[in-house]
Structure 1
Amino acid sequence: MDRRRFLRTLLSGATALAVAPALLRSEHAFAGDPARFAAGLREQPWLAGWKSVQSETLGPATVPLEGRLPAGFAGTLYRNGPAWTERAGFRYEHWFDGDGMVHGWRFNGDGTLSHHARMVATPKFTREQKAGRFLYPTAGTSIPDMQPIRNNDDANTANTSVTMINGRLFALSEAGSAFELDPDELTTLGPVTWRPDLAAIPFSAHPLVDRDGSMWNFGSISMMGGNGLVVWHLGRDGALASADVLETPVPGYLHSFAMTDRHLVFALIPFRYLEGKGAFFERLRFRQDQPLRVAVVDKATPSKAQWFETDFAAIYHFGDASERDGRITVRAVQHLDVEEARSPMKAAMSGDGHADVHGGKGPLRDLVLDLRSGKAQWEDTGVAGIEFPVFDARTPSRDAARLYAPIHADGSTAPYFSRIGAFDLARGRRQVHDYGRDVLVEEHLFVPWPGSTRPDDGWLVGTLLDAAKGRSGIAVLDARRVDAGPLAQAWLPYTVPLGFHGHFAAR
């Protein structure tokens, strides 16, 4: 079967699989209780990170910067995350379910910062706004009286990350199309079809930019009941270069992937479905008795892979991947509590501010793949309690990169991250800045210094939520002196829900 015909067949199968769950009616539609969450929020102010917005827009607000913004730092941090989680007395139970809101944190160059945010106007969101209730299937909560959908984009929340390709801004999720937004107004322009026969095929939330400026991504069919990945390659101009199907031996869950100069690395987490009805994550159970299957794909032949097996691991995010002497080393954050991995911060979503949460405490480990022997093994790094790792993509692919990540610390008010760290594992060095026990810390992105090509010459920019003072904020740090704390920061007069991932667009 030729490639285009295979993709058309895949699309028709994916559409049918997407429609099928929408026709199911769960026997146990356990909605969260908005009143219970509100009561928890009054007692535990840090739960504001999981509070539902009630307006399609936030801001605009302009606030002064504290400290001094470094020379050369200018642009906008775009952030995305689940924001609309309650309707008509029904609250989503799973953090991944909320409709996406994209934020623009703009550094104005005059000592001020402006913030505004807007809901992504997907078909799902706009129809549910009109109906005044939730209508369509979600990743982790059963919805009573669900309406049928034609394809994945009818249920697309566009709530996980945001990226920019050739000046065009896109909101991304795991199981549907990219939605294009106006980069200034954040208004929704609509879903993107890279080629007519690829309409609604998943374009996942963690694309990676190659050294030539082109972009790689994947679309997982396993989440919809089948096997296989679509491997996307876009040119630096944003046009589709190729879309290949990588057949997989078993279904497996994956949220992101890793890349070296030559290879893409996909790790399939084994899972099974419970019998009965319900949303994807309600029925999913990770199989710790099964191995993690890892595909190493040569960029020159995206439809073929060298397969490895290693010990089970539940992974959402990877750090860097390096390749030297026929061995690839991939850094991954493991979740030791598979139930917490299946539904991160579930207690917070329900308004339980006293639950013992184990998420965010897993180890950072090296996955070593020997391309010659076909063997794979895990190695410890000695780092634990981090998530959302990033690194300077200018680091040579032969070398291990310095990682930057939020850190979970015992004694914090919330069972979430309260510090930011820099980890140079090759030299055994780390730097940590503690924002304070009441501050919740989100992903910090690396921004290179203009004019410098030396790895780790740059800044970190990341968002915060100060629970004690009821405000959200942003901070800029020197990536080489993280322990010195923010060079500049700004605070809004309101809080915004915690999100997942972002993109910094330099001006």
Structure 2
Amino acid sequence: MDRRRFLRTLISSTAGLALGAAALRSAPAFANDPAQFAEGVQAHPWLLGWRSVTSETLGPATVDLQGRLPTGLAGTLYRNGPAWSERNGLRYDHWFDGDGMVHGWHFNGDGTLSHRARMVATPKFTREQKAGRFLYPATGTSIPNAQAVRNNDDANVANTSVIGINGRLFALCESGSAFEVHPDTLDTLGPVTWRPDLAALPFSAHPLVDRDGSLWNFGSISLLGGAGLLVWHIGKDGQLRSANVIQTPERGYLHAFAMTDQHLVFVLAPFDFNAAGGSFFERMQFAPQRPARIAVVAKDAPDKAQWFEAPFAAIYHFGDAYQRGDGIVLRAVRRDNMDEARSPMKEAMAGDGAHASNGRTSLVELHLDMRRGKAHWQDTGISTIEFPLFDPRTAGNRGARLYAPTVEGPATAPYFNAVAAFDVDRGRRQVWRYGTDILAEEHVFVPRPGSRDADDGWLVGTLLDPVNARSGIAVLDARHVQDGPVVQAWLPYAVPLGFHGTFVARS
């Protein structure tokens, strides 16, 4: 069977396996009560970060910048995250379930900042808006009387990340197509089909941009009930270069991956499905008694993998990866509690602010010996971080400086209240604490125009101030994080916490 026919057979034979169990479930839903959540917000205002929006659009709002915008910083921070999580007396149980909303934080040239946001008009969201209730299976919540889905995009929430390619903007999630949105209006233009036989196949939420401007990504067939990795390569021009399937030895969960100058590295956490039925994350049980399977794929041979094994690790996000002699070193954030790994901030979604926890995380290194075929984990001693990013201009033979939200000092919420820069190899850390009540999100690195030196640029990150019911944005000098924001702005309203974003410089 040729590769294109194989891909088409793959999607047609597996699309119903993982989602179908939830679609056919007739038992009562394991979902939350919106009224209970509303009561929780009254007692714990920081739960605003998990509140559902009730409007398809927010803004546009224009506010003054506090401080002076650095010369050369011009453009838009786009962010994406779950935003619509309640309908008809039902509230999603899992943070990953809410329909996606893309935000545009636009730095104007006149000392102001403008914000607008719009729901991604996926088929799921559009149909459920019309019906006034949830219709389709969710990743982590059982929906009563859910309709069967024909393909992944019937249940696609496009809620995890956003990426710019050749002047175009795409909203991404784990299990279906990228959805293109207009970079100015944020109107949804529709799902992207990179090639007709690849329609609706998973195009995951963490693509990585290579030094030549091309983009690598993967699709996890495990999310569809099978086993395998679909490796995507998209050119700088936004056209498909290749799509290859790598067979995997067993089911393994992965949300992101790492990349060196020559290789892609995929770490699969083994899991089993229980027989009780329900949504994907309700059925999925991590299998820490089995080793993680690690695929190393050479960029010049993306249809083949060299396989390694290492002790089990539950990981959502990776930092940098680099070549060291005959091996590869990569950094990742490991989650130590399996239940919290399956459903982060579960209590917050239920409005239980008194017992909510973000779980313990540790920054670990994976060392791969390419010659001997061996792999092992090494602890860095850094904990309580997530969403690590770095300057991709860093040389490919050394570790990068990592930027990540963290916790510093007392915090009202069981969430991040600071941002830090970590020089792991030298054991150095710089940190800026926003305050006891502020919730800090991912901070994107933006290079200074015209510079070539790694880490010469800024961090641009979003914030939530629940005491004053407002969301904000901050810009810090990446080399002097401890000095705090050089410029900051606050909206007159609060938006839900999201996951990931990208900065698109003004041309």
TM range (shorter): over 0.9
Give the deviation of 1:358 after TM superposition.
4.7
Q: Output the CA distance in 2 between the equivalents of 1:182 and 1:14.
A: 32
Residue aligning to 2:214: 214
Native 8 Å contact 1:335 1:341 kept in 2: yes
Q: Output the CA distance in 2 between the equivalents of 1:409 and 1:98.
A: 29
Please list every run of 5 or more consecutive structure 2 residues that lacks an aligned counterpart in the other structure: none
Q: Output the CA distance in 2 between the equivalents of 1:42 and 1:170.
A: 36
Alignment of 1:58 onto 2:92:
no
Native 8 Å contact 1:18 1:152 kept in 2: no
Give the deviation of 1:16 after TM superposition.
3.4
Give the deviation of 1:428 after TM superposition.
1.7
User: Sequence identity of aligned pairs in percent?
Assistant: 68
Larger mean CA deviation between 300-309 and 117-126 belongs to 300-309
- The superposition leaves residues 463-482 of structure 1 with CA deviations (integer Å, 9 ceiling, x where unpaired) of 00011111100000000000
Larger mean CA deviation between 275-284 and 116-125 belongs to 275-284
SS in 1 for 2:253: coil
Q: How many residues align?
A: 506
User: What amino acid does structure 1 have at the position aligned with 2:399?
Assistant: A
Residue aligning to 2:258: 258
Residue aligning to 2:291: 291
Native 8 Å contact 2:180 2:189 kept in 1: yes
Q: Output the CA distance in 1 between the equivalents of 2:408 and 2:392.
A: 27
Native 8 Å contact 1:26 1:278 kept in 2: no
Alignment of 1:126 onto 2:122:
no
TM-score, normalization by structure 2: 0.99
SS in 2 for 1:475: strand
Residue aligning to 1:346: 346
Larger mean CA deviation between 274-283 and 350-359 belongs to 350-359
Residue aligning to 2:270: 270
Give the deviation of 1:44 after TM superposition.
0.6
Matches within 5 A, 1:184-263: 184-263=184-263
Alignment of 1:441 onto 2:440:
yes
TM-score, normalization by structure 1: 0.99
Aligned CA RMSD, in angstroms, stands at 1.0
Residue aligning to 2:489: 490
Q: Output the CA distance in 1 between the equivalents of 2:220 and 2:322.
A: 24
Q: Output the CA distance in 1 between the equivalents of 2:26 and 2:100.
A: 24
- The superposition leaves residues 28-47 of structure 1 with CA deviations (integer Å, 9 ceiling, x where unpaired) of 41220000000000111100
Residue aligning to 1:155: 155
Residue aligning to 1:477: 476
Q: Output the CA distance in 2 between the equivalents of 1:160 and 1:55.
A: 19
Alignment of 1:357 onto 2:361:
no
Q: Output the CA distance in 2 between the equivalents of 1:198 and 1:91.
A: 33
Matches within 5 A, 1:299-338: 299-338=299-338
SS in 2 for 1:79: strand
- The superposition leaves residues 61-119 of structure 1 with CA deviations (integer Å, 9 ceiling, x where unpaired) of 00000011100001000000000000001000000000000000000010100000000
Q: Output the CA distance in 2 between the equivalents of 1:433 and 1:358.
A: 20
Alignment of 1:25 onto 2:25:
yes
User: What amino acid does structure 1 have at the position aligned with 2:138?
Assistant: T
Residue aligning to 1:387: 386
Please list every run of 5 or more consecutive structure 1 residues that lacks an aligned counterpart in the other structure: none
SS in 2 for 1:396: coil
Native 8 Å contact 1:318 1:389 kept in 2: yes
- The superposition leaves residues 106-152 of structure 1 with CA deviations (integer Å, 9 ceiling, x where unpaired) of 00010100000000000000000000000000100000000121100
Alignment of 1:108 onto 2:101:
no
Give the deviation of 1:301 after TM superposition.
1.1
Larger mean CA deviation between 349-358 and 191-200 belongs to 349-358
SS in 2 for 1:391: coil
- The superposition leaves residues 480-501 of structure 1 with CA deviations (integer Å, 9 ceiling, x where unpaired) of 0000000000000110000000
Residue aligning to 2:396: 397
Native 8 Å contact 1:19 1:150 kept in 2: no
Give the deviation of 1:15 after TM superposition.
2.8
* Divergent runs of 4+, >6 A: none
Matches within 5 A, 1:398-413: 398-409=397-408, 411-413=410-412
Residue aligning to 2:503: 504
Give the deviation of 1:380 after TM superposition.
1.4
